[in-house]
Structure 1
């Protein structure tokens, strides 16, 4: 097994990657497969990992009477989200090499396409994890231990699509963990507000990743991959209404527990309108539209975050 990094051959872009991205136009050929392993050309992944962290930090600011979330914490969460999302994607590709090779959208990914070896991918994953570790140790001990606990969920997620119709639930456990981290970083403990935020994040994640999974449902059925997209089928829209509705209610309860005012709830209400729009326009048989709607959750994240930050500013005046 070789752990050589340099000299990797770039045999072309990944089918589901963003075309003409800086990864393909600016990076040297040897670096492109690693960037694709980390999904650097698709920032939606680290945004979705980051939003619960930033929401939690903003919620903590409201609770503490601070005019804004801790900027140092926000910066650390941003770096950590990019690094750990990349490490997670690399781990997922290592686990799913056999599945990716049989799915049209993923068979050109770096590992099944032979652009990098498994040894090279493992080393790259370790380097990204080290960046994440360097970020984690900047926090208090409670937050460090909480962050380490998340690794168990991250490790089991890629295997869930083989055993359960609810792999999106386990993705929610992993991707919403930041809802606990932002609060813990501020207070060195957990309370009901971040726990409710975490639960709401899980429901939100199941919803948006169900939309994403509809891109692959035919291939998934052929190779035996399970998902909530296949489980819900024609009932996807009612299921999304329940999931997004539950997420909104839980987020509002979290805000209420910190005595948030109208700006926070206005942001959540506007965010709910955005989620409703996703449900109304969704065509589960249009893969391109499913991808666009999935990516639009970055907009949802901004709406909620701006509302919470505005509330922190007003409340501190």
Structure 2
């Protein structure tokens, strides 16, 4: 078993980076610290930001009864935007957490605490990513643009949440699932109840997977006074995770039902079935959960890419039915 408290590699590879990733092995040396700052070596976070966007796009297209060429651009734009905004958000997170990260073995080799990038350089890199993302956002409709700008509020607050609440995962959920609202609005033109319900379902999903992730740092967090749901729940985590699982399935399924109400019966069954299929994956994660096995916790956390792809495939099939 690989423990996240093991001594970091002298190459500068961050402890939880994907082994063999192209950033650490093939990227030029000069931009490498900036790519690490954007978590390009850890793509799971980009997937977790992107998938709610694609959920919102798929259900929005299902609700209006058609998938247009502009919807294809919305999907591509969300993909590029997820990479950029996840990178900008992680850069902001590392700027605000630079003193904390240096005290946690899993994060000690991140670019800022390790000295590979200065705070000034990090701020510049964050601005570049955000400006390119803004250029993409401006190709969407006005309501979607306003939602995109409003999303900066939870993104800005999240890094500080673990200092004042035991529930920082809620703030992460507010930020990471905003794309469900934005993509729905980009394709339909306005917000509607299915988008709001989907957003809430995504927040429950974030509470599920990020509580699992936070258990990796529970000991270090306790030493430095950082709060998390993992520390709050402790040995009761499986019970709470089961509740988050049920909330995810019920809310995502209800959102799909609302979006498919005016479509065919087959579309309605497929759309709502995606949430239940996702639930089976989350239930599998829960059966494997072991708060003392850090390597397993990281694998379970990363498996949520597949968990999130499952309902997306069902939503897409519902749109074709």
1:48-197 alignment to 2 at 5 Å?
A: 48-66=48-66, 70-197=71-198
State yes or no: 1:226 paired with 2:233.
no
State yes or no: 1:291 paired with 2:298.
yes
Are the aligned partners of 2:278 and 2:307 in contact in 1 as well (CA < 8 Å)?
A: yes
TM-score, structure 2 length as denominator?
0.93
State yes or no: 1:301 paired with 2:302.
no
Aligned to 1:200: 201
Are the aligned partners of 1:146 and 1:181 in contact in 2 as well (CA < 8 Å)?
A: yes
In structure 1, the residue corresponding to 2:300 is in which secondary structure? helix
Aligned to 1:20: 20
Aligned to 2:4: none
State yes or no: 1:275 paired with 2:276.
no
Once the two structures are TM-superposed, the CA of residue 68 in structure 1 deviates from its matched residue by 7.3
Query: Which 5+ residue runs of structure 1 have no aligned equivalent?
Result: 1-9
Question: 2:14 & 2:188 partners in 1: Cα distance?
Answer: 42
Question: 2:20 & 2:189 partners in 1: Cα distance?
Answer: 44
Moved over 3 A (4+): none
Question: 1:281 & 1:289 partners in 2: Cα distance?
Answer: 8
Aligned to 1:264: 271
Once the two structures are TM-superposed, the CA of residue 265 in structure 1 deviates from its matched residue by 2.3
Are the aligned partners of 1:97 and 1:112 in contact in 2 as well (CA < 8 Å)?
A: yes
Are the aligned partners of 2:101 and 2:110 in contact in 1 as well (CA < 8 Å)?
A: yes
1:3-18 alignment to 2 at 5 Å?
A: 12-18=12-18
Match of 2:317 among 301, 306, 310: 310
Count the aligned residue pairs: 305
Are the aligned partners of 1:66 and 1:313 in contact in 2 as well (CA < 8 Å)?
A: no
Question: 1:192 & 1:42 partners in 2: Cα distance?
Answer: 33
